[in-house]
Structure 1
């Protein structure tokens, strides 16, 4: 291991939101064990806002649509990295861009180690026939392996979560002395097979709102999502739709103070988990066995589609493949089951 404390270790994870959020507990474990080793994290500007929550980690923003676009741009990025004089590079992404970056840094004086994504194991887990249905290594463990290859073994059992963030004054004024349980709800997912039926989710919201015991915060991004959540906000007085009303940093501060996050197998679940917020996840055609269960969450904080009715689950790692007839897999998770689990977790 190189012991020059002034030279940084470069960490690369360009996307996506959930995958970047999953690096946080690993970075915290690294910082705890190797406080004198600087880290520079290379990612997209938006995702850098997540990494800046980790004390002692610098962020280098890539410009993949400009200066770092294409092969020439990656060559520029390689030169930028050489200028940082790193002690090594931990590639936590393992995609074409980072493979090319590795080629461009082959003759530079630092090691470049990449994630083993376990593609063969995941292919067997998601196979239609001869499925090897068993839990795989977690993504957190795969990230940690990369650091170990560089001479920095870390223990994920000896890590922390991020501290709660201070709420913006605007939110303090709006929420006042709210003593209710704060529940975050992220009702959307990137793929249909991972999203709880919107009618069922609205029923969850309606029943929670009718109890008068909770303040409900709705998270989502796209125009169609905002429209749905705006309607819910109008219907149910205890709902606050955050989409388009606050910055991402403000949303992170609010997430850090939730009593519970209800989400799909999606980025919002990992954002909540990195603060140690109890996170209830709903799973459709994906499955926790693929290694993406939120960090340090109780295994009971999840509800899964019925594999007896839908034996091909998991159909893919990220939920892109939705076999014919599997459109209603998530409907096997009842509204009552969701409400009961929320009550169980929040007390």
Structure 2
């Protein structure tokens, strides 16, 4: 019944948007304005938003006169709000990405409302930067935008003017760049230069001077001077199935501090994760600094200062890559080919439970929404041994921090 309702509602959207689509087709035949208006849509949370940042510099370089607007969820706005390539930032509480319940009709009510607002802004190009986000494709269609770029995936494809074939198991940033390149071609401009690689299109997020000064104060109060190597562990993540064992973090932290006695450890997380940080910190000597009340920029300043960052598959690890800091990260249900580090391969080590856990053949399954009572049946991350983490951390510290 729910599937049939969606089909009916999407058909209603298609019919309602036909007059605008016809007008948009005529507009696409007109000469491109001197300052083309470009809309980028990305509904995701912190990590995915960090992996979107390379397209902003690329667009600004290829279309320096463009007026670039980015529409993001309020939960990730801080990642791109300061980016110099963006002229306007719009926030939208995208359906399906809010961590609250919603009615079956709410996505369509919001779709109509936001499309009406966008129609008044007369965009020349819109790019749906999430490959499976049908709502974003429908939004571009209802807004009457003449060039609408996305992947040819149902049910989004009928709403697009430029639908790219979707090739699975590519990196998330690769997809962002491929769509952006197609958007440039839709405008009659040259495509992005290949290859789509981190050295050509790096992640970008720059902490401010004030954020770096805040960090310096925090470190000084903890007795950490500018010559001390800082190790950061960010153990939390949005999906419980991706968590490692608290006791394993404790043992690995102690092993590293014993190996590098002049280093200091910082544990980071959200306010909701403070209890987990305390549990990990209890057995670590010397006691680590706990920071769970930080802005994104303050966290980035810490990650930039760090010699090494360890964690599971989470947004802050991508933020660390944007700071040029080596990382060690644990993967289980998510695919590192898609969500792994977008940075120099020799500076980042991914440890997958598939390598260390032959009893978990289903990974990467891509599923994160396990109920609490199901988690014990999916221990793919929890079974990664401490030794693997410690060896990877030592490899990076010896290579980049112990010359």
What TM-score results when the alignment is normalised by the length of structure 1? 0.81
1:287 to 332, 335, 350: 335
Write the distance in 1 (CA, Å) between the matches of 2:46 and 2:318: 9
Q: How many pairs align? A: 326
Deviations 1:90-139 (A, max 9, x none): 1112424324313413xx252111245799xxxxxxxxxxxxxx982221
- 1:207-286 superposed matches below 5 A: 207-210=255-258, 211-221=260-270, 223=272, 225-233=273-281, 235-237=284-286, 239-244=288-293, 246-286=294-334
Partner residue of 1:169?
A: 213
Partner residue of 2:14?
A: none
Farther off after superposition, 155-164 or 263-272: 155-164
Partner residue of 2:90?
A: 60
Partner residue of 1:334?
A: 385
2:363 aligned counterpart, secondary structure: coil
How far residue 39 of structure 1 moved from its aligned partner, in angstroms, is: 1.7
How far residue 232 of structure 1 moved from its aligned partner, in angstroms, is: 4.2
1:149 aligned counterpart, secondary structure: helix
Write the distance in 1 (CA, Å) between the matches of 2:34 and 2:113: 25
Farther off after superposition, 213-222 or 325-334: 325-334
1:102 to 115, 119, 140: 140
Deviations 1:45-94 (A, max 9, x none): 2311001242221311225589xx64333222112222322221111124
For the 8 Å contact 1:25–1:274, the answer to whether it is kept is no
How far residue 227 of structure 1 moved from its aligned partner, in angstroms, is: 1.0
2:112 to 75, 88, 112: 75
In 2 relative to 1, CA 97–54 (structure 1 residues): closer, same or farther, beyond 3 Å? same
Gaps of 5+ in 1: 120-133
In 2 relative to 1, CA 70–184 (structure 1 residues): closer, same or farther, beyond 3 Å? same
1:329 aligned counterpart, secondary structure: coil
1:344 aligns with 2:391: no
Write the distance in 2 (CA, Å) between the matches of 1:240 and 1:118: 48
**What is the root-mean-square deviation of aligned Cα atoms in Å?**
3.2
Partner residue of 1:296?
A: 343
1:30 aligned counterpart, secondary structure: helix
Write the distance in 2 (CA, Å) between the matches of 1:253 and 1:170: 9
Higher helix share: 2
In 2 relative to 1, CA 169–275 (structure 1 residues): closer, same or farther, beyond 3 Å? closer
Write the distance in 1 (CA, Å) between the matches of 2:324 and 2:153: 25
Write the distance in 2 (CA, Å) between the matches of 1:314 and 1:154: 33
2:79 to 50, 53, 57: 50
Write the distance in 1 (CA, Å) between the matches of 2:290 and 2:152: 39
Partner residue of 1:9?
A: 38
2:174 to 141, 151, 172: 141
In 2 relative to 1, CA 329–141 (structure 1 residues): closer, same or farther, beyond 3 Å? same
1:45 aligned counterpart, secondary structure: coil
In 2 relative to 1, CA 330–102 (structure 1 residues): closer, same or farther, beyond 3 Å? same
For the 8 Å contact 2:51–2:203, the answer to whether it is kept is no
1:216 aligned counterpart, secondary structure: strand
How far residue 212 of structure 1 moved from its aligned partner, in angstroms, is: 2.8
Name the structure, 1 or 2, with higher relative contact order (CA <8 Å, separation 6+): 1
1:113 aligns with 2:162: no
In 2 relative to 1, CA 83–144 (structure 1 residues): closer, same or farther, beyond 3 Å? same
Partner residue of 1:122?
A: none
Farther off after superposition, 249-258 or 259-268: 249-258
Partner residue of 1:159?
A: 201
1:189 aligned counterpart, secondary structure: coil
Gaps of 5+ in 2: 1-27, 156-166, 186-190, 399-403
